[in-house]
Amino acid sequence: MSPQADTASHDAAPRNDAPHDAAPGEGSPSGTAPQGSGSAETAEQRPEPTVITVGDGGGSGGQELGYEVVIGNGLLGRLPQMIGAQAERVLVIHPRALRATGDVVRQDLENAGYKAVVAEIPDAEEGKHIQVAAFCWQVLGQNDFTRSDAVVAVGGGAVTDVAGFVAATWLRGVRVVHMPTTLLAMVDAAVGGKTGINTAEGKNLVGAFHQPAAVLADLDTLLTLPRNELVAGLAEVVKCGFIADERILEIIESSPEQAQNPHSPQLRELIERSIRVKASVVSEDPKDFGTRESLNYGHTLAHAIELAERYQWRHGAAVSVGMVFAAELARSLGRLDDATADRHHAVLTSLGLPVTYRDDRWNQLLEGIRRDKKNRGDQLRFVLLSGQGQPATVEIPDASILFATYQEIGESDEGSPVSL
């Protein structure tokens, strides 16, 4: 089955095929988004949405900082106001797994007076392909999208990545609103304006910075998210705890079970705290020139693992292993105390996240590490901690140091991450 496009009008155009096909992968965003702007639950029964502002304004069209991340329940009805009155056409990009949700969003937009077009793309990392982006550009062109029109991303992190890239490159930039439906997308991918697609050489090597006009994090989508997807997303939450907000770690340590419960106030607090961490960092360094590199904690090895596994591992599982590797590397360099290094293992395992990786892939992983975007010339660079909440980018002069650290996390078989 190939990517498909459809419109909301009664004389809808024939579905268009693009030359790319893939089955849902390990990272498939299987959560179900809100079914329309109405709900059996009354507004009085819901906590008020939390609004976090990224940056301090001054921009327009989603190109600059100063946008809102809205966190709450039943947020679909807010979508038209986030898109704005200047748009006439809206492209809704969603994965196959969320076809019903995409139709609901399209209908709501049509009811609000927009001409809505739907582009269905492959699930998970298979959707982050240049041919998928080209298919979306084709749909935009065939439907006469202008700079005043908008794109809406409905799905997990892979969808917000590719939809953001499409929005960044169409006519050199149109508005994009993200509606993340996975925990990982809510706390990481949808916030901050990083967009990208994968190539055979590595993950996110082609992309652009393009801030969204708004992010709607509807917590209702987590109620039907498979547990392993939720757990994988918690890796990015833990990351925010180690690089900035220790209270995140304390909440998880006090009750790992409640941290995994989509109904719990603890998970909502974890989400809000994680988004605040990212919003603060992005507001200070929107284009990754300095402090924003801290958000890549655990990601250097993680991206190499994902490449080695042909993107069949969930991103969060790889980040979990990557953080343990980074902690062990910092300990071996004398930068990190034993208690903080050991805390990585304890917190991550309490959530059921992997902390080891097979020990027969080092050469393949090193090749991926050498392609990491943080590197400068031949110099390998890792984000490491020198203490709780104290990240810094460190140059590694000798790859043998990395290999020695890898022995600390390696195991003889493929281990638990594959089943996560």
Q: Is 50 annotated as a binding residue?
A: no
Q: Is 169 annotated as a binding residue?
A: no
Query: Residue 93 — φ and ψ, nearest 5°?
Result: -105, 125
Q: Is 339 exposed, middle or buried (0-12, 13-18, 19+ CB in 10 A)?
A: exposed
Q: Is 224 annotated as a binding residue?
A: yes
For residues 292 and 347, the answer to whether their CB atoms sit within 8 Å is no
Q: Is 261 exposed, middle or buried (0-12, 13-18, 19+ CB in 10 A)?
A: middle
Q: Is 221 annotated as a binding residue?
A: yes
Q: Is 20 annotated as a binding residue?
A: no
Between CA 401 and CA 330 the distance in angstroms is 11
Q: Is 161 annotated as a binding residue?
A: yes
Q: Is 55 annotated as a binding residue?
A: no
Q: Is 278 annotated as a binding residue?
A: no
- How far are the Cα atoms of 151, 168, 266 from residue 262, in angstroms, in the given order? 28, 32, 9
Q: Is 245 annotated as a binding residue?
A: no
Cβ contacts of 94 within 8 Å, gap of 6 or more = 101, 102, 105, 118, 119, 120, 121, 153, 154, 155, 159
* Residue burial 357-366, b: 16+ Cβ < 10 Å; e: rest: bbeebbeebb
Q: Is 98 annotated as a binding residue?
A: no
Q: Is 159 annotated as a binding residue?
A: yes
Return the residue matching tokens 């508005």.
175
Q: Is 181 annotated as a binding residue?
A: yes
Cβ contacts of 260 within 8 Å, gap of 6 or more = 227, 230, 231, 234, 267, 351
Q: Is 373 annotated as a binding residue?
A: no
Of 140, 133, 180, 184, the closest CA to residue 160 belongs to: 180
Q: Is 127 annotated as a binding residue?
A: yes
Between CA 169 and CA 192 the distance in angstroms is 17
Between CA 135 and CA 396 the distance in angstroms is 41
Q: Is 109 annotated as a binding residue?
A: no
Q: Is 218 annotated as a binding residue?
A: no
Q: Is 125 annotated as a binding residue?
A: yes
Q: Is 217 annotated as a binding residue?
A: no
Between CA 333 and CA 68 the distance in angstroms is 40
Binding site members: 123-128, 157-161, 181-182, 194, 203, 221-224, 236, 299, 315
Binding site members for Zn(2+): 236, 299, 315
Binding site members for NAD(+): 123-128, 157-161, 181-182, 194, 203, 221-224
